Amino acid sequence: MGHTRWYFAFTVTALATAGLAVIHAKAPARLGSNSQGESFKFGGLRSFEIVPLETVSETSSNASIGDLNGDGNPDIVLVKGRHWQVTSRVFFGDGKGHFTPGPALPSKATKSYSASLADMTKSGHLDMVLSNDQPDPKLILLNDGKGNFSIGGTYGDPQWSTRNAAVGDLNGDGYPDIVVANREMTSYVCLNDGKLHFDCRPLEDSPSAATVAIADINGDGANDVIYACRDDCQSLVYFNDGKGNFTRKEPWGPPKSSTRAMAAGDFDGDGHLDVAACHEKLGCFVYLNDGKGNFGAGIQFQAPKALPYSMIAADLNHDHRPEIIVGYVEAPGVIYFNDGTGKKVSSNAVRRRQGRDLWHGGRRFEWRRMARCCGGAIRCAVLCDVQPAVPEMKAWGLRTLPDGHSLKAVPQG
């Protein structure tokens, strides 16, 4: 079976005004209200503690997690900007959920949307790939291994309206390449020669995107590109011939949709990577992969209510089944817990069962709202959208609490 070949410790995938983060700690706390020694019970209590990262009010757009200073503990890159030029920040973790500011980044104030972490030159250190909106250059920041970054190069065109950049080896040379999601213009694949020189090639029929992902969808050992259409067009999977050429593409999702929130994961446990996505005005769906890159009509797990902005798939309760975490605009973020049944999909409508469980076609996704923070203005599951016009809003992180504890938020500053 094929899966994405990752080049970083952990990536937080999030778009536009919302960011999602899940920390994989060395010894994660058990999620839920179960006592020690009990197995995980589906539908049990899951608790998170909100941890403020900073006290200033600025426009955060994303977050990435990885060991930046070589101490074995996960650190955070808090990405800022979007439509405004703001300076992104690095926070070093102590492995216990505490974070202190790291050195200033040389990128200074830019319109950044994401900062993918990957070893771009085989130095053994996690470097940073910044996706910056026009007219700012798209930057590669090199890490000295201690969390000090320097500008190592650029990729693409500063005039691209870039919203996101996914990183992975696309041509089999061992160096991470970049897929660039551009809004209202063509998206690109940029191949890395190992010396930070990039050969950028357009993706056919990619009129507008805000998010992309890299994953081996058909199990042939080569990473493919999952393209989510941002503005009323068809989302696609571009299949890789193993050399970075994408001559075959297949549709997934509705013929016309606007999608910012998308993630890949094996949601039904068949060994093939599936796609989850939330489409504006249509709702959230899981699209199951038959192993050859063909996707069904989709299993709806959320009706169109709040505006979805970001998504990530991660196993939060250690049952080897990825959950789906969705960040919404002006609404609490939601975690959809997956029971992993993988039963046959039917045309039954989504209905609520047993309080807040969502069922469709025999597959169940339980949802739990994350608590509102910053005076009820949370826009995502983990990091509040921080608008300059709302000074009481700050950036937050979430960490798990011991069994039986509840979510709590303690504003600072």
Give per-residue pLDDT as tens, 183-238: 999 999 999 999 999 999 999 999 999 999 999 999 999 999 999 999 999 999 99
Instruction: Work out the average pLDDT over 238-253.
Output: 96
333 alpha carbon, distance to own chain's centre? 14
pLDDT at 46: 58
pLDDT band at 394; cut points 50, 70, 90: very low
Bridge partners, 138 (sequence order): 155
Cβ-contact 61, 111 below 8 angstroms: no
Tokens of 318: 């250690």
pTM attached to this predicted model: 0.77
**Least confident residue range of 68-82, 265-279, 352-366:** 352-366
Instruction: Work out the average pLDDT over 78-107.
Output: 95
Average of per-residue pLDDT values in the chain: 77
pLDDT at 383: 32
pLDDT at 283: 93
Name residue, tokens 């609404």. 331
Instruction: Work out the average pLDDT over 92-114.
Output: 95
Q: Closest Cα to residue 93, out of 143, 23, 29?
A: 23
Q: Closest Cα to residue 322, out of 306, 351, 346, 301?
A: 301
Instruction: Work out the average pLDDT over 356-368.
Output: 43
Instruction: Work out the average pLDDT over 60-84.
Output: 95
- 55 CB-near residues (< 8 Å, 6+ apart): 394, 412, 413
Instruction: Work out the average pLDDT over 26-50.
Output: 44
Q: Which tens digits make up the pLDDT trace of 338-354?
A: 877 533 322 222 223 33
pLDDT at 13: 35
pLDDT band at 388; cut points 50, 70, 90: very low
Tokens of 104: 């200033």
User: How far is residue 368's CA from residue 132's CA, in Å, rounded to a whole number?
Assistant: 33
Residue 71 burial (10 A CB sphere; 0-12, 13-18, 19+) = middle
Res 377 pLDDT > 50: no
User: How far is residue 211's CA from residue 12's CA, in Å, rounded to a whole number?
Assistant: 12
pLDDT at 238: 98
pLDDT at 318: 86
pLDDT at 133: 97
Residue 410 burial (10 A CB sphere; 0-12, 13-18, 19+) = exposed
pLDDT at 391: 31
Tokens of 236: 């696609």
pLDDT at 329: 87
Cβ-contact 99, 105 below 8 angstroms: no
Cβ-contact 20, 382 below 8 angstroms: yes
- For the chain, what is the radius of gyration of the CA atoms? 20
Instruction: Work out the average pLDDT over 64-68.
Output: 97
